[in-house]
Amino acid sequence: MAAVGARSGAVLVATIGGWLGAGWRYLREVSGDDAYERYLAHHAAKHACTTPLTAKEYFAERQRQKWSGVTRCC
């Protein structure tokens, strides 16, 4: 009986760990924390013959894009 309890405990821990990992990945995605990693993956897949921006260059470009132009609704 102890082996069955230990096994179901391990399954529970693995399930909770999976949910926490998925939640953490979701939180990073919606907050933009993983933006540079996603940029690198896209760049490697679509633009492999060019050098990607450094993290500093990438975030400077994102800030420039975000704050250039009209930043109000009306």
Over residues 32-59, the pLDDT tens digits come to 889 999 999 999 999 999 999 999 999 9
pTM for the full predicted model: 0.63
| Type of residue numbered 22 | A
Grade residue 31 by pLDDT with cuts at 50, 70 and 90: confident
Tell me the Cα Rg of the chain.
21
End-to-end CA distance of the chain: 68
In the block, residue with structure tokens 């990693």 = 37
Higher pLDDT, 8 or 51: 51
- Say if residue 5's pLDDT is above 70: no
Return the domain boundaries, the chain. 1-31, 34-67
Q: What is the pLDDT of residue 32?
A: 81
Q: Which residues fall within 8 angstroms of residue 55, CB to CB, at 6 or more apart?
A: 36
H helix runs in the chain, sequence order: 2-31, 35-46, 55-67
Report the mean per-residue pLDDT for the chain. Answer: 86
